[in-house]
Amino acid sequence: MTRAILARRPRPPGHAAAIAVEVLVCGSPDRGDDGAPMAVMGRLREQLPSDVTMRAVGMLDVDDLLSVPPGAGVVIVDAATGIEPGCIVDLALNGLIGRSDGVHPRSSHALTLPEVVGLAEMLRGRPLNGRIVAIGGSHFGLGSSFSRPVTAALDPLGDAILEAVASVRPPVVGAA
């Protein structure tokens, strides 16, 4: 699977701002509701600060989290089962540990999402500052169309991602 940067606001020439937040977008645009996170990313392009990057990762891997720069926040966006279709949840990175309500990120992983996060934190030697934003889906078969509840929730999903980005943004040194 090819990994690509989905959206990055252009930086002024000669301005190399540090990355404050990395948004990792999971899913597959050809698997129904699983493509909703990628569809929303294009809508957010102009709303993100220049120090926020987005990468399409398809299936989240430990390497994706290891590549988040030291001190930067991370937001993982995915579609999920176990959530009412069209509903959006925002959880801490460790928010899936020990859950028994059936919430499960849709993008299949060789390791579960809590295992991927735990392994990345262990290898990094420090916890990650991050959030998981997931939208409940019902249609994950072949095709690029979304179910009605997911279509209706695309704008709220974008709003939830922007809120998550703001919540994991490192404090600006010297700010009051």
User: In this predicted structure, what is the pLDDT of residue 37?
Assistant: 95
- Contacts of residue 15, defined as CB under 8 A and 6 or more positions apart, other chains included, come to 50
Q: Are strands 73-81 and 21-26 parallel, antiparallel or unpaired?
A: parallel
Let me know: does 79 contact 37? Beta carbons within 8 Å.
yes
> Domains of the chain by range and CATH?
4-10+17-168 (3.40.50.1450)
Q: pLDDT tens, 21-53?
A: 999 999 998 999 999 999 998 888 788 889 999
Chain centre distance of CA 1 = 17
User: In this predicted structure, what is the pLDDT of residue 4?
Assistant: 44
| Distances 153 to 35, 125, 157 between C-alpha atoms, Å | 13, 37, 6
Taking the complete model, does pTM exceed 0.85, yes or no? no
Q: What is the full per-residue pLDDT of the chain (176 aa) written as tens digits?
A: 434 444 444 444 444 458 899 999 999 989 999 999 999 988 887 888 899 999 999 888 889 999 999 999 999 999 988 889 999 999 988 766 555 555 656 555 556 777 788 788 888 888 889 999 999 999 888 888 999 999 999 999 999 999 999 999 987 655 55
User: In this predicted structure, what is the pLDDT of residue 110?
Assistant: 58
User: In this predicted structure, what is the pLDDT of residue 69?
Assistant: 92
- Contacts of residue 92, defined as CB under 8 A and 6 or more positions apart, other chains included, come to 130, 131, 132
Strand spans (E) along the chain: 4-8, 21-26, 52-58, 73-81, 88-92, 104-105, 129-136
